[in-house]
């Protein structure tokens, strides 16, 4: 099981995320971000090649 949370602080404009997973190294591949664009958190399929097509 993998759990992910993304949050935005309206006062500071900062984004934050947390990912927790029972599978080794999965959490490190779930976060996709780009400054000025946004954040995406993947679940289940964590193929890093998918990030290249996401615009993030």
**Which residue reads 């000025």 in tokens?**
36
| SS3 of residue 28 by DSSP | helix
Q: What is the pLDDT of residue 10?
A: 93
The DSSP call for residue 27 is G
- Enter the tokens of residue 28: 């490190």
pLDDT in tens, the chain (56 residues): 888 899 999 999 888 888 888 877 777 778 888 888 888 887 766 666 766 666 66
Strand pairing of 15-21 and 2-8?
A: antiparallel
Q: What is the pTM of this model?
A: 0.61
Q: What is the pLDDT of residue 55?
A: 63
């Amino acid at each position: 099981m993998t759990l992910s949370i993304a949050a935005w602080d309206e006062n500071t404009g900062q984004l934050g995320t947390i990912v927790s997973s029972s599978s080794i190294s999965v959490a490190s591949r779930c976060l996709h971000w780009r400054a000025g664009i946004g954040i995406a958190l993947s679940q289940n399929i964590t193929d890093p090649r998918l990030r290249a097509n996401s615009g993030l």
